Amino acid sequence: MEFLILGFLTGLSLILAIGAQNIFVIEQGLKKQYIFLVCLICSLSDLILIFLGIFLFEFFRN
């Protein structure tokens, strides 16, 4: 259960932080260019990176 909370808080902190990726997504949305594709690619990359971070943390912890 603690890893679920850790993963949730890690994901939340990544989403809430205004970074280069978020600024790019906002900019593309305002320009109305490739909105769905940009959001899809960014969401998938975030998902992969979050899961890799959680699983690698667990792997190296043991």
> DSSP for 1-32?
-HHHHHHHHHHHHHHHS--HHHHHHHHHHHHT
CA-based nearest residue to 48, from 60, 56, 38: 56
What confidence score (pLDDT) does residue 37 get? 95
What confidence score (pLDDT) does residue 36 get? 95
What confidence score (pLDDT) does residue 40 get? 95
What confidence score (pLDDT) does residue 28 get? 94
The answer to whether the predicted template modeling score (pTM) of the entire model surpasses 0.75 is no
Cα–Cα distance measured from residue 17 to residue 32, given in angstroms and rounded to the nearest whole number: 23
Overall number of domains in the chain: 1
For 4, phi then psi, to 5°, come to -65, -45
> What pLDDT digit, counting tens, does each position of 3-52 carry?
888 888 887 777 777 677 888 998 999 999 999 999 999 999 888 988 88
Token pair, residue 52, equals: 């890799």
Residue 38 is part of which domain span? 2-61
Asked whether the predicted pLDDT for residue 53 surpasses 90, the reply is: no
